Structure 1
């Protein structure tokens, strides 16, 4: 059936692994795991819960009775209570102790943290794969001269590989942000309705150490360190956590947008293009076109993420006292969709970066159109060494440059600046002496060495640290 709205993030863009992470199956099996962790910790701390009850819960851990849950939610108007009843129906002996002492945020918020953690791990690995693709590209073209641009006007030369390191350096910063978020992400734990843990203090007959141990045991079972639990909360973890994580995702989107925009400009100049498949259609009207549609899609999705990152920031700012519920509907959409969109962006980024097409002859042609202007400083130095007046020659170069520029822009002819200078007796230089300044490699400065150092000192350690992320993976483009 196709008569109901479906999100393009699910149907067109995001990968299967990220879609699964934010699926109902993953969400509700995580709720089950949290209920098992709670019961197990409570049993170990002395509450009258049996191993048989936990074993029963374990057997049904991955079984979600969606029909019964939907029936119960329609009756109870509460999603967590609906799933408690649905789970308990298949774990009858454990039903009395499922969710013991907890509030809805125990499963809801802890699951959100777990999903964001696993989502960041997927994003981290994809960032590493993009860096690996760009590293190969940068290494291959580390010494290939190309025009550098400031204000999108031709400036001093760089190299194709050096420009790629600028894209990589931003992604490296994003990777560090992701690592920071993963290192500092903490579970809500078991805090109760206003964060006081009063219900658990009652269950453990006033033993505060057991209440503390409950948090620690649950954290360890759910894959966190014993101290990776929020020290103080209201009913929910601070929504600033969501805002911080989406700010990190927004940073990735910003970096990807910069790359894709640069590439779209390079495609226009026909210097570097994204991959274009054998039967790919560039335009329904103009069959000759090779539109950079993947880069355009990166920019489109990146803008969405950057705008979406404002949602949790606004939500965090208006949480009243120990909790309010105007966060829930927004969180369900904004957080998951940010992850799905960044996942799609990085899949596209890796695909494009792995298959960039470099047109070296076009790059060389563009260099030759601008190189005479860049060579004038070196020509000036030679003329001064031969006895010329620096200030007078500077004025002569300015005059010749304006005339040559007018010839190029107003008449559509070739740049004849060097011929003008060679014919000017004030410079005292032969045409051969002038033309020796036209080797583009003389104008790229330290670019090759910068690329080599950057790849060796900054990128290689990352690729070695996350070698597992590089094994057997390739970018998945859904449509």
Structure 2
């Protein structure tokens, strides 16, 4: 067996670790998680340690100067050399160190990876990748927040039917619906920022994290130059941090899924209150020319399922044997690139969807009118109770009237006005069946929305 290629027995001979198909890829994220960038970060971490050793006097600066007077470029050729070397070592970081030392071709190269273990480099570089990906995602989230806020204010006073259990309830406004999505996304942003902070750490504490060959002061100095803080660790950084990132991503995906699902419902033919944008030349169905299906919303709902699928393996990565094993490694090679690609795609496409959404205010008005006053049933019930009528008795009177409305006998207010059991005068019934009266207190919600500007995110 020893004569066989290591790739047959689990080697990682690949130049593309993320498996999201090109249809959903962000070029920026692909670059962040590419082999080239990963190895550039490995090089940067190695050099940061050597520089810190020279700065603290642990190494004579002149002995390591050649490492800083010449830059080793991590290009496709370098990556291929590492992959070829890995076919021999069956260890990606060891192969990288071998090639890096050979490329420098100076005695100073012997101080690369001096006193370090592989996870010092790999985990620290992974933190830098995750932080970079999170910053890209947060920029997109900020843009989506600004879009939601602008659209919420634009439709602040656009009344529509509220629905519970899919049934007509009381009215709301389309702006209120969008405002709640914006506030939910702001909470997701808080989770993402917190997860990013948890990952802005590295470790250079050696084989089992005991600083046997690297001092805590040297670790702090090297990590500071990389923009990271030291993390207490075993041989690896605790995977609870990584799990927090994945759960924050999945939660963000779930928030977007909620909005996309609502758009799908509102776009149904019998509702027709919103529609996804439909470009000239676009076809909704290969068979039925009239179709304008909510395909983007459906796609976003499907992608949220994939984003959630990473939560369980991320949590299972937390428990490792003793000071470390590598059961988490294979998971993370695919999980982080794919999870970030999925959620970034969802955020940017949902932004486009909200920007270009077609809102049919006339359909919203029609659907409100088609309830024939059922939306005022609670107001009428409470007014009867205020007159001193027993609540259950009042409930039964209104309920019987709503049954007649559903049977096509007329408007709820008019039916109650003719019911001798109803203690409300006709003028009071007319006052209570006012749409504006039910929406008068939404200013509080929009006040919360307006307070977001300039507080937790950057407006555009």
User: What TM-score comes out, normalization by structure 2 length?
Assistant: 0.87
Quote the offset at 1:359 in angstroms. Answer: 0.3
- Give 5+ residue unaligned stretches, structure 2: 1-15
Q: Does 1:41 align with 2:57?
A: no
Encode CA deviations 1:268-320: one digit per residue, 9 max, x unaligned.
12112222222222122222111111111111111111121111101212x01
Quote the offset at 1:392 in angstroms. Answer: 7.4
Quote the offset at 1:455 in angstroms. Answer: 2.3
Quote the offset at 1:178 in angstroms. Answer: 1.5
2:439 to 423, 438, 444: 444
1:306 to 301, 305, 308: 308
What residue is the counterpart of 2:23 in the other structure? 12
Quote the offset at 1:62 in angstroms. Answer: 3.9
Q: Does 1:350 align with 2:351?
A: yes
CA distance in 1, matches of 2:17, 2:38: 19
Quote the offset at 1:71 in angstroms. Answer: 2.1
What residue is the counterpart of 1:420 in the other structure? 415
Q: 1:187 to 1:6 in 2, by over 3 A?
A: closer
1:328-477 matches, cutoff 5 A: 328-376=329-377, 395-407=396-408, 415-422=410-417, 438-447=433-442, 449-463=443-457, 466-467=458-459, 470=460
- Give 5+ residue unaligned stretches, structure 1: 201-210, 408-413, 471-479
1:208-219 matches, cutoff 5 A: 211-219=215-223
Q: 1:361 to 1:88 in 2, by over 3 A?
A: same
Q: Does 1:221 align with 2:241?
A: no
1:38-437 matches, cutoff 5 A: 38-46=49-57, 47-50=59-62, 52-57=65-70, 59-63=71-75, 65-93=78-106, 94-200=108-214, 211-224=215-228, 228-230=229-231, 232-268=232-268, 269-317=271-319, 319-376=320-377, 395-407=396-408, 415-422=410-417
Quote the offset at 1:406 in angstroms. Answer: 2.5
Encode CA deviations 1:9-32: one digit per residue, 9 max, x unaligned.
240113211111111121111111
CA distance in 2, matches of 1:325, 1:376: 62
Encode CA deviations 1:74-127: one digit per residue, 9 max, x unaligned.
122221122122222321114222211111112211111111111111121111
Whether contact under 8 Å (2:260, 2:298) holds in the other structure is yes
CA distance in 1, matches of 2:453, 2:168: 29
CA distance in 1, matches of 2:73, 2:264: 49
Residue-pair matches, total: 440
Q: 1:316 to 1:387 in 2, by over 3 A?
A: closer
Quote the offset at 1:438 in angstroms. Answer: 4.7
CA distance in 2, matches of 1:389, 1:63: 81
User: What TM-score comes out, normalization by structure 1 length?
Assistant: 0.84
Instruction: Tell me the C-alpha RMSD between the 2 structures.
Output: 2.9
